[in-house]
Structure 1
Amino acid sequence: MAELEMISADQLDEYAERRDCLLIDLRDRWEYDAGHIKNAVNMPYDDLLAHVCLPKNRLLVLYCDRGSLSMVQGKKLAAEGYRVVTVVGGMHAYRGKYLVK
């Protein structure tokens, strides 16, 4: 079973710049449309596990509003063998340079 790693919102820019990462926004579509991290894909919390085509060769970087939902989904995905990172504090804590409004 893969480990679940947690990063701070301040560290998120480093991961956003990496080609081996897939940023996944777990919030509802209207929240994503109001502001998200550049290049992130929107897969709402309830839909994420239905996406069986998630790449296992990339690091999945999950974030939500405050970090609790991404942690729950991150644990599930890690148990399935995915490499997963979650953002503590989520979008609420993010103040980086890749915010798209």
Structure 2
Amino acid sequence: MHKNIDITSFYQKANSESLIILDVRDTDEYEMGHVPNAINIPLDSLPKHTLALNEDETYYIICKTGKRAEKACHFLSEHGFKAICVEDGTQNWPGQLEHSNDFTVLL
């Protein structure tokens, strides 16, 4: 079972701690604007990337609205990973979204 975090609490946590944030939107959505330091792993390619993830880490999963993040969290939890679903997603991110592809994009 995974946990949820509301966008405001996540924003505060992301600004005060070093988190591993996985953005499960499609690559084109990610490039249009993403949470700072988020790593893009589109939902449909998540299964093939589980070998690159560490079961000892906690992953914060975000998308645009929270629906894809919920699916990704469910999948990761079923496979032994600690996943926290960010409710409401990037559409309600209170800070500035980054509009570059300087961060890792896993396809």
Shared fold per TM-score greater than 0.5: yes
Structure 2 counterpart of 1:10, from 5, 8, 11: 8
May I ask how many residue pairs the two structures share in their alignment? 97
TM-score, normalization by structure 1: 0.86
Structure 1 counterpart of 2:43, from 38, 42, 45: 45
State the match for 1:73 in structure 2: 72
Distance in structure 2 (CA, Å) of the matches to 1:28 and 1:45? 7
Please report the RMSD computed on the Cα atoms of aligned residues, expressed in angstroms. Answer: 1.4
Distance in structure 2 (CA, Å) of the matches to 1:80 and 1:15? 25
State the match for 1:83 in structure 2: 82
- Any conservation in 2 of the 1:26–1:45 contact (CA below 8 Å)? yes
Which protein has the bigger strand share?
1
Identity %: 26
Q: Which amino acid aligns with 1:40?
A: A
Q: Unmatched 5+ residue regions in structure 1?
A: none
- Any conservation in 1 of the 2:65–2:87 contact (CA below 8 Å)? yes
Q: What secondary structure, in the 3-state scheme, does the structure 2 residue paired with 1:36 have? A: coil
TM-score, normalization by structure 2: 0.82
Show CA shifts across 1:25-81 (max 9, x none): 111111111110111101001011110211112111001110011101101111111
Distance in structure 1 (CA, Å) of the matches to 2:13 and 2:54? 16
